[in-house]
Amino acid sequence: MQRPTGVTILAVLAAIGGIFGILGGLTLLGFGSFFAAVGLGGFAFVFGLLALVIGVAELAFAYGAWTLKPWGWQLGIVASAAYVAVLIVEVVLGYAAVTSAVIGIVVSAVIIYYLNKPEIRKAFGAPDTGWPFMGGA
């Protein structure tokens, strides 16, 4: 099956985001000792690791979406949902503005909606309903 244009766009954007996420995570980890001097070393370390994990997940999704792997569809759904959770935590802790979090939540919701369209699920080999490989119909 030919890859839908929207999936191609998602894969390219995820690859770019993954590269920047990894670079940002490495930067935070590298400057952790500097931030420790002002009492923020622990936060820099945690956010650096989180950025690395998200960056690697984005690269994995990019590959899975580009090659239409069924696990790529699952990773796209899980990563988008996890991003919403991270945004909510950032707003609650005061690290993000509500307006930017709302934009991120809307983008994630659109991605989840798009990945659940019947033709997109079919392109990835996902069942029409349910969760693949976990008793989906």
10 occurs within a structural domain? yes
Mean of pLDDT values over 106-129: 91
The helix/strand/coil state of 44 is: helix
53 occurs within a structural domain? yes
129 occurs within a structural domain? no
Q: Of 133 and 94, which is predicted with more confidence? A: 94
17 occurs within a structural domain? yes
78 occurs within a structural domain? yes
**pLDDT tens across 58-116, in order?**
999 999 999 999 899 999 999 899 889 888 988 898 878 999 999 999 999 999 999 99
Best CA proximity match to 60, nearest among 17, 3, 123, 117: 17
130 occurs within a structural domain? no
**pLDDT tens across 20-45, in order?**
989 988 988 887 666 665 666 667 77
31 occurs within a structural domain? yes
> 76 is in which domain, residue-wise?
5-124
Per the structure, the count of domains in the chain is 1
